């Protein structure tokens, strides 16, 4: 089938939001609440194996802290998460978080080519909208036909639920779409929904197992600043001349899949 839509994860895929964005905002929220919790870079990398900010806090309580000391956890965790989101939005407004290489270029190209765009993420809608407005332009959320977040789909990746939600909302077959992810959980979620996936790794996810992905690259790449080809079922068909993610490259990958 012809390629009709692109579905994007957000955190770690469109922008390096995790280490210097969400992690910092979590720590600020903890400090403001008078808690002595601190998520350093290494610990946060381990916590990222659990999808969802509230879920990470609960895992932290269970695995690191003595959870029984926080009998108000069901109230505390949502309050901390809301505070963290406010702090994260402030960081965005201050320009402290930027898009990954090639993302802006590729989104504009895909829109110009008439491809339908969607988002499938486990973060909250307020974070997604704030990121798009601050790093692209104020109307950027409208570029995406569907924005599926933790607010609409509570089941977190690797559950395929958020991708299934997008497919249903767009009335598309999985073979008409490509997904962009940065993590093993994201890859599993897209695959379980039947969607071929391109992985753009970051410092936290570089060492994951992505052998089942269509293509694994360092980033989206830019003309003159090519991506690094790391793995993937179609990697052997990609040449140095390709260099960066483009609509033509995606159509090339789809043709390879159909052979």
259 has a pLDDT exceeding 70: no
Q: Are residues 80 and 173 in the same domain?
A: no
Q: Are residues 110 and 236 in the same domain?
A: yes
Q: Are residues 168 and 203 in the same domain?
A: yes
Supply the range of the domain harboring residue 69: 18-93
Coil, strand or helix at 163: helix
Q: How much is the pLDDT for 202?
A: 93
Distance from first CA to last CA of the chain, Å, rounded? 12
As a whole-number percent, the residues of the chain with pLDDT over 70 amount to 98
Q: What is the pLDDT of residues 121-165, one digit of tens each?
A: 998 898 899 999 999 999 999 999 999 999 999 999 999 999 999
Confidence of residue 1 (pLDDT cuts 50, 70, 90): low
Q: Specify whether the CB–CB gap between 95 and 220 falls below 8 A.
A: no
Q: Are residues 239 and 132 in the same domain?
A: yes
**Range in 67-76, 108-117, 170-179 the model is least confident about:** 67-76
Q: How much is the pLDDT for 67?
A: 65
What mean pLDDT is predicted for residues 216-222? Answer: 96
Q: Are residues 213 and 163 in the same domain?
A: yes
Q: Are residues 57 and 171 in the same domain?
A: no
Residues with Cβ within 8 Å of residue 99, at least 6 apart in sequence: 14, 15, 135, 136
Q: Are residues 35 and 12 in the same domain?
A: no
Confidence of residue 9 (pLDDT cuts 50, 70, 90): very high
Q: Are residues 155 and 58 in the same domain?
A: no
Count Cβ atoms below 10 Å from residue 59 Cβ, excluding itself: 16
Q: Are residues 126 and 237 in the same domain?
A: yes
Q: Shortest CA distance to 6 belongs to which of 200, 145, 135, 130?
A: 145
Q: What is the pLDDT of residues 36-57, one digit of tens each?
A: 999 999 999 999 989 899 999 9
Question: What CATH code is carried by the domain that includes residue 69?
Answer: 1.10.150.240
- Greater confidence (240 vs 211) lies with 211
Domain-terminating residue out of 93, 121, 148? 93
Count Cβ atoms below 10 Å from residue 75 Cβ, excluding itself: 10
Question: What CATH code is carried by the domain that includes residue 223?
Answer: 3.40.50.1000
Q: Tell me whether strands 229-231 and 215-217 are parallel, antiparallel or unpaired.
A: antiparallel
Domain count of the fold of the chain: 2
Known catalytic residues are 9, 11
Domain-terminating residue out of 34, 68, 93? 93
Q: Shortest CA distance to 244 belongs to which of 231, 230, 225, 258?
A: 225
This prediction has a pTM of 0.90
Q: How many residues does the chain have?
A: 259
Domain-terminating residue out of 62, 93, 124? 93
Which contiguous run of DSSP H or E holds residue 46? helix 41-47
């Amino acid at each position: 089938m012809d390629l009709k839509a692109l579905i994007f994860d957000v955190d770690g895929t469109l922008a390096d939001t995790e280490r210097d964005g969400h992690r910092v905002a979590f720590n600020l929220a903890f400090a403001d609440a008078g808690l002595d919790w601190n998520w350093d870079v290494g610990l946060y990398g381990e916590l990222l194996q659990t999808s969802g900010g509230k879920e990470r806090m609960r895992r932290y309580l269970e695995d690191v802290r003595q959870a029984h000391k926080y009998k108000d956890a069901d109230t505390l965790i949502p309050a901390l998460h809301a505070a963290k989101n406010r702090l994260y939005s402030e960081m965005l407004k201050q320009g402290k978080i930027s898009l990954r290489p090639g993302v802006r270029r590729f989104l504009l190209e895909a829109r110009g080519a008439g491809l339908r765009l969607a988002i499938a993420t486990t973060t909250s809608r307020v974070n997604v909208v704030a990121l798009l407005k601050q790093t692209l332009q104020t109307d950027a959320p409208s570029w995406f036909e569907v924005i599926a977040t933790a607010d609409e789909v509570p089941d977190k990746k690797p559950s395929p639920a958020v991708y299934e939600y997008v497919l249903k909302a767009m009335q598309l077959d999985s073979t008409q779409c490509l997904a962009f992810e940065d993590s093993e959980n994201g890859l599993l979620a897209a695959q379980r929904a039947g969607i071929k996936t391109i992985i753009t790794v970051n410092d936290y996810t570089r060492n994951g197992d992505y052998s089942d992905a269509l293509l694994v690259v360092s980033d989206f790449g830019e003309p003159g600043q090519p991506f690094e080809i790391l793995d993937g079922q179609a990697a052997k068909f990609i040449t140095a001349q390709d260099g960066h993610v483009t609509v033509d490259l995606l159509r090339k990958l789809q043709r390879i899949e159909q052979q």
